């Protein structure tokens, strides 16, 4: 009976977090590709050509062009992080691009220069800290969250720790709603001006006993499945996140 109660609570908590994310309606679709070095210029040229097209001028969202610096066995080398502030914008853009010859040529050009790896849909849950508009480095943690409400509560407590006042950049929690690795439920994206900025903060904050205690409490509610480092040299549309938080 105790196991059943725990299972039902976890399901209810997950539903609550999903409803909160859905209410915000902010969606991120990540399209990942494997690009061989000899095809990188051709791949980038296809992106540059399409982003100057009439079809893309009607694009209602934000798009980060991402280069993957380190991601373990994942073959992805590049990706497009496409963010819509409203799900209705996503639907409208799908309809628009479905009838676009320019988008059709763009897809064919990408496929000729690269191999598609994955497509994942995320819903925004909550953001913390400041997001540098010109941030170029991102660290992503892939997680299995067993108790979403408990996890957010632990994050809120961690953010009240005095050490977190010195947090460089910020981070956002996203829920996986379609696709993604088996067993994964959420990701956390940390945005900074440099990898060094983030690593220096991690090293310094780990020496504080109160921070170590509050950070360790997150482990009660989530398991980290992996991490990756990326850079985003080019962004399309406003890169500020205040409107989606």
Q: Measured between alpha carbons, how far is 91 from 106 in angstroms, rounded to an integer?
A: 19
State residue 131's pLDDT score: 72
Could you write out the DSSP letters of every residue in 138-156?
EEEEEEEES-HHHHHHHHH
Q: What is the average pLDDT score of the chain?
A: 87
For 212, the enclosing helix (H) or strand (E) is helix 209-216
Helix (H, G, I), strand (E, B) or coil at 31: strand
Q: Say which residue, 223 or 17, is predicted with more confidence.
A: 223
Burial tier of 166 (Cβ tally within 10 Å: 0-12, 13-18, 19+):
exposed
Domain ranges for the chain, please list them: 2-236
Q: What is the pTM of this model?
A: 0.85
Question: What are the tokens at 214?
Answer: 């509050």
What is residue 244's DSSP assignment? T
Residues 6+ apart with CB under 8 A from 230: 66, 67, 68, 69, 71, 79, 137, 138, 139, 140
Q: What percent of the chain has pLDDT over 70?
A: 87
Closest by Cα among 14, 24, 6, 20 to 241: 24
Task: List, for residues 76-133, the tens digit of each pLDDT value.
Answer: 999 999 999 888 999 999 999 998 999 999 999 999 999 999 999 999 999 998 876 7
State residue 82's pLDDT score: 94
What is residue 75's DSSP assignment? -
State residue 238's pLDDT score: 66
Residue 108, Cβ neighbours under 10 Å: how many? Answer: 11
Over 70: is that where the pLDDT of 6 sits? Answer: no
Q: How confident is the model at residue 135 (pLDDT cuts 50, 70, 90)?
A: confident
Strand-strand pairing, 78-84 and 27-34: antiparallel
Q: Say which residue, 20 or 203, is predicted with more confidence.
A: 203
For 7, the enclosing helix (H) or strand (E) is helix 2-24
Span 133-162, average pLDDT:
92
Over 50: is that where the pLDDT of 239 sits? Answer: yes
Over 90: is that where the pLDDT of 244 sits? Answer: no
- Fold of the 2-236 domain: Alpha-Beta Plaits (3.30.70)
Tell me the residue length of the chain.
Answer: 245
Over 70: is that where the pLDDT of 171 sits? Answer: yes
Task: List, for residues 201-220, the tens digit of each pLDDT value.
Answer: 999 999 999 999 999 999 99
Q: Measured between alpha carbons, how far is 114 from 112 in angstroms, rounded to an integer?
A: 6
State residue 18's pLDDT score: 47
Span 20-42, average pLDDT:
84
Q: Which residue reads 């095809």 in tokens? A: 39
State residue 42's pLDDT score: 96
Helix (H, G, I), strand (E, B) or coil at 151: helix
Q: How confident is the model at residue 72 (pLDDT cuts 50, 70, 90)?
A: confident
């Amino acid at each position: 009976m105790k196991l059943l109660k725990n299972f039902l609570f976890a399901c209810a908590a997950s539903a609550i977090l999903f409803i909160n994310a859905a209410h915000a309606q902010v969606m991120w679709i990540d399209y990942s590709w494997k690009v061989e070095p000899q095809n990188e210029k051709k791949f980038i040229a296809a992106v540059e050509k399409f982003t100057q097209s009439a079809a893309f001028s009607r694009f209602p969202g934000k798009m980060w062009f991402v280069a993957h610096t380190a991601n373990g066995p994942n073959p992805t080398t590049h990706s497009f992080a496409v963010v819509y502030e409203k799900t209705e914008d996503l639907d409208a853009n799908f309809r628009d691009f479905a009838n676009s010859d320019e988008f059709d040529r763009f897809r064919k050009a990408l496929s000729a220069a690269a191999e598609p790896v994955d497509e994942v849909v995320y819903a925004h849950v909550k953001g913390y800290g400041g997001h540098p508009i010109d941030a170029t480095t991102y660290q992503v943690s892939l997680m299995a969250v067993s108790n979403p409400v408990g996890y957010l509560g632990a994050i809120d407590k961690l953010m009240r720790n005095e050490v977190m006042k010195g947090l460089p950049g910020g981070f956002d929690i996203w829920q996986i709603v379609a696709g993604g690795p088996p067993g994964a439920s959420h990701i956390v994206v940390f945005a900074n001006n440099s990898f060094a900025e983030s690593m220096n903060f991690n090293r310094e904050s780990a020496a504080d006993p109160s921070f170590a205690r509050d950070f360790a409490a997150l482990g009660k509610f989530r398991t980290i499945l992996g991490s990756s480092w990326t850079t985003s040299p080019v962004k399309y549309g406003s890169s500020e996140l205040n409107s989606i938080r």
